[in-house]
Structure 1
């Protein structure tokens, strides 16, 4: 099973750390594994570089995009997508300061959620602590000045 924590980072952070995503990942790892005193400091740093989620906009986009699908449902503010034909399941939950997506099977269901989120904002950063995967949902385009 894959578990993603998805944070909406400030646009300046996204622009400045494009290509240096491993530094952001290290910060999130420290936030999960540090001792109590250091963990508190790191959590403040994470809060500083991340934005408040536009929860209403996310819910609206999820509902509008997925309402016609028979494999989509909402239960206790959890958004479920169960694509039986592809053996793919995913659950999205808004925690206020970050979003979690838990998925199993093929990547189809979680990709649907990721596509909706990246249309909401281009600065979403996903971290899968268990598999040590991380990255932008929508890669920030880098401007090259010659």
Structure 2
């Protein structure tokens, strides 16, 4: 099973750290492994660079994009996608300051959730600590000034 932690980072952070995603990932890893005193400092840093999840926008975006699918349903504010034909399942949960996606099987179901979130805001940053995967759901394009 794969577990993703998704934070909405502030626009200036997503712009300044494009191409340096490993630094953001490292901050979150240290937050998980640090002692209590250091963890409090890192949590403040994480709160500073991340914004509140726009719960209503996420809810409307998911329902608008996925309402016609037979394999999508909502139970107790958790969003489920079960693509039986492709043996792919995922559940998205909103925790206020972050979203989580737990997925199993093929990558189809989680990809659908990622696509909806990508359309809502370009600054979502996803991390899978167990497999050391991380990145933007919608990479911010760098502007080249001539």
Asked if TM exceeds 0.5, the reply is yes
Q: Following the alignment from structure 2 to structure 1, what is the Cα–Cα distance between the partners of residues 122 and 67?
A: 23
After superposition, what is the alpha-carbon deviation per residue over 1:103-134, rounded to whole angstroms, capped at 9, x for unaligned?
Answer: 01111000000000011000000010111100
Structure 2 residue matching 1:141: 3-state secondary structure: coil
Q: Following the alignment from structure 1 to structure 2, what is the Cα–Cα distance between the partners of residues 62 and 10?
A: 22
RMSD: 0.6
Which residue of 2 is the match for residue 2 of structure 1? 2
Q: Following the alignment from structure 2 to structure 1, what is the Cα–Cα distance between the partners of residues 58 and 77?
A: 12
Q: Aligned pair 1:128/2:131, yes or no?
A: no
Which residue of 2 is the match for residue 68 of structure 1? 68
Q: Following the alignment from structure 1 to structure 2, what is the Cα–Cα distance between the partners of residues 19 and 64?
A: 32
Structure 2 stretches of 5 or more lacking a match?
Answer: none
What TM-score does the superposition give when structure 1 sets the normalisation length? 0.98
What TM-score does the superposition give when structure 2 sets the normalisation length? 0.98
Show structure 1 runs of 4+ deviating over 2 A: none
User: How many corresponding residue pairs?
Assistant: 146
Q: Following the alignment from structure 2 to structure 1, what is the Cα–Cα distance between the partners of residues 144 and 77?
A: 42
Which residue of 1 is the match for residue 96 of structure 2? 96
Structure 1 residue matching 2:91: 3-state secondary structure: strand
After superposition, what is the alpha-carbon deviation per residue over 1:26-78, rounded to whole angstroms, capped at 9, x for unaligned?
Answer: 00001111111101110110000001111001000111111111101111111
Q: Following the alignment from structure 1 to structure 2, what is the Cα–Cα distance between the partners of residues 60 and 31?
A: 31
Query: Structure 2 matches for 1:1-146, cutoff 5 A?
Result: 1-146=1-146
Q: Following the alignment from structure 2 to structure 1, what is the Cα–Cα distance between the partners of residues 92 and 40?
A: 26
